[in-house]
A and B are shown apart, each in its own frame.
Chain A
């Protein structure tokens, strides 16, 4: 017999559960994850090199995991800081998932790590959908990428707890309009803090490290509007007997006044586990 069955399951439920467990597990060990998202070439690695060096100099136990489709170039650069670094090769996959990260940390992450920086695959589309169990999600954009980057990639910038501008040393040469960039960030992510940095001149050095340490010490990160939706999917599937060709068309109340147990339906960064 042909039947239409309500499933009401979040597609990313498995990743979200995994991210939630990882965040809780790491919190128990005193570790927080910082997820860095940007397009290729925006300067994630150069910025991270600088922040790791500073952390090591200040005696902050940090580690970094960097993901690319190929080459160990980034890990070699980051390892010069002296911090534990791991290169993950995704074999063509465009993003990291929580289960992948969890697997890579096993047997590698030093137990006393305070901050784990994850340099996601250079891509502003796909990584945005996956919560990795981070406590701070940072979207980066270099001054050469255009002030409208946050509008073109609203999910990446809209779900960030912090937005970071890189390569400000050449801002004037490329005619970067900082006010316009900030307005565009505010449009998709009202209230999001924006930090300006240049790995070349050292401007804004330590700003990312300080932001990460503040979150690790319990300061609430900025909560993006886009991450605050509660879609209330039903956890329990309930069956509806249906004849052949009968349209399954009844209305489900998807209002926002439910007070029953629910799960978040989408992958969103949650500042605190």
Chain B
């Protein structure tokens, strides 16, 4: 099950982006998963929760947006939903001229996080701390 590796990659990338932006408390991550990406969203959700533990993403929700796989035949100008298992031969001319339009996506679309305007190191110390 490579969903754990995928989840760890998602968490790692979001952590890096949050750190670079000075953000904390990531509350949600939106992920785009193509029908042919070879990733099972339910398994990914389970792994994601584990991978978030102890990071800035702890408790974050994972929203997956599924992308149907579509292909197009250039000579026929026909495009079709390839289905699962995919049929990548043109349904009109039957040839191997297809190109995949969508379905292989596996990307982080967006994240929702809290900006950190009052990080401890940035503020003036209060009287009791002096």
Is A bound to B? yes
Among B5, B84, B113, the most chain A Cβ lie within 10 Å of the Cβ of B5
**In whole Å, how far is A8's beta carbon from the nearest beta carbon of chain B?**
6
CB-contact partner of B100 in A2, A187, A228, under 8 A: A228
**In whole Å, how far is A155's beta carbon from the nearest beta carbon of chain B?**
4
CB-contact partner of B109 in A2, A8, A186, under 8 A: A8
Residues of A within 8 A of B17 (CB): 5, 7, 9, 237
Q: Is the CB of B106 within 8 A of A10?
A: yes
Q: Is the CB of B13 within 8 A of A4?
A: no
Q: Is the CB of B1 within 8 A of A1?
A: no
Total number of B residues with any Cβ neighbor in A under 8 Å: 49
Could you give, for residues 96-133 of chain A, a 1 whenever the CB lies within 8 Å of some chain B CB and a 0 otherwise? 01000000000000000000000000000110111000
**Which stretch in A11-19, A174-182, A195-203 binds the other chain?**
A11-19
Indicate whether B50 reaches chain A with its CB closer than 8 angstroms: no
Total number of A residues with any Cβ neighbor in B under 8 Å: 50
Docked CA distance A162–B11 (Å)? 34
Please classify the interface of chain B as helix (H, G, I), strand (E, B), loop, or mixed, using the class held by over half of its residues: mixed
Q: Is the CB of B13 within 8 A of A231?
A: no
Q: Is the CB of B113 within 8 A of A187?
A: no
Among A5, A130, A237, the most chain B Cβ lie within 10 Å of the Cβ of A5
**In whole Å, how far is B39's beta carbon from the nearest beta carbon of chain A?**
7
Q: Is the CB of B101 within 8 A of A256?
A: yes
Could you give, for residues 179-194 of chain A, a 1 whenever the CB lies within 8 Å of some chain B CB and a 0 otherwise? 0000000111111000
**Given A190-B98, A265-B104, do A1 and B115 touch, yes or no (CB 8 Å)?**
yes
Q: What residue of chain A has the Cβ atom nearest to residue B31's Cβ?
A: A11
What are 23 A-B contacts with C-beta separation under 8 Å? A1-B115, A2-B27, A2-B113, A2-B114, A5-B112, A6-B109, A7-B13, A10-B106, A10-B107, A129-B106, A155-B37, A155-B38, A186-B96, A187-B87, A188-B88, A190-B89, A190-B95, A226-B104, A229-B104, A231-B104, A242-B112, A248-B110, A266-B37
